[in-house]
Amino acid sequence: MNNSVLFNHNYNGFHFCVDDLMLNSQGCDGSILIDNGEDSERKANGHQGVQGYNVIENAKAQLEIMCPSVVSCADIVAMAARDAVDLSHGPVYQVETGRKDGLVSRMELAARMPDVQDSIHILKQKFIEKGLNDRDLVILSAAHTIGTSACFFMTRRLYDFASSGGPDPSINPSFLPELMSSCPKRGNPNDRLPMDHGSGDIFDKQIFQNIRSGFAVLQSDAKLMDDPTIKGIVDSYFGLLSPLTGPSFEGDFMSSMVRMGRIGVKTGSSGDIRRVCNAFN
């Protein structure tokens, strides 16, 4: 398998893990992978457009042949996240393993998901509920430095922002025609565009520069500029002395990913190791 295909596959694993944590109260436990009907968590609106379920299943099938009932689906997506960052020229970090898979997957558990239309106040509150802080919000938003978004997450921002009948005024006027061309008003809502303008396949802090200059693709990313504290964190990764005295984007990302991966870990009887990832044992 060539690197570009492997990257695309592992990118999906990366956002599985982020979504699996952020979209429900269970933590990174593989609940998004379950396909048990219309009430399964993967059917939640915020999960629409997630791709690559078959890639996780294929990895699980190979592991079950080599070492049955040893590696959980939750650990597979966590390791896929690490590999996606590595393949996109990001930092290599240690993944803590030993998670078990969750025993619950229901759409209602996605009710407290961060939404692309949330205000910065709501986004901060949702991260606090997970035990994460303002820097984690900034850094994990920067996960959008790799991968794509479906156009249905863009429609309101481009064509009816705040019920105005027009676009979000925070979008740089020189960027707006490009976004509208990628996601036309009556186009295919499943069409996709990179979440990091000009750098969608490379792990870097270009996404912060895009956010600062009005080139954010997602509305929730643009909202980082609405809060002085959050804006200050974004700005701290730039400046003349930033490479010497400022925070490390790569180091902070690794720390936030490890903290995120510790939330809601299932052990003992609170979980099990599935034989296949899309169904409970």
Other Cβ atoms closer than 10 A to 217: 29
Q: Is 168 annotated as a binding residue?
A: no
201 in Cβ contact with 7 (< 8 Å): yes
Q: Is 114 annotated as a binding residue?
A: yes
Local structure of 7: helix, strand or coil:
helix
What is the chain's length?
281
211 in Cβ contact with 182 (< 8 Å): no
d(CA 94, CA 44): 30
Q: Is 115 annotated as a binding residue?
A: no
Q: Is 89 annotated as a binding residue?
A: no
130 Cβ partners below 8 Å, 6+ apart? 21, 22, 260, 263
Closest by CA to 237, choosing from 213, 204, 192, 190, is 204
- Kind and range of the H or E run holding 149: strand 148-150
Q: Is 41 annotated as a binding residue?
A: yes
254 in Cβ contact with 143 (< 8 Å): no
> Binding site: residue ranges?
27, 29, 31, 41, 114, 144-145, 196, 204
> Binding site for heme b: residue ranges?
144
> Binding site for substrate: residue ranges?
114
> Binding site for Ca(2+): residue ranges?
27, 29, 31, 41, 145, 196, 204
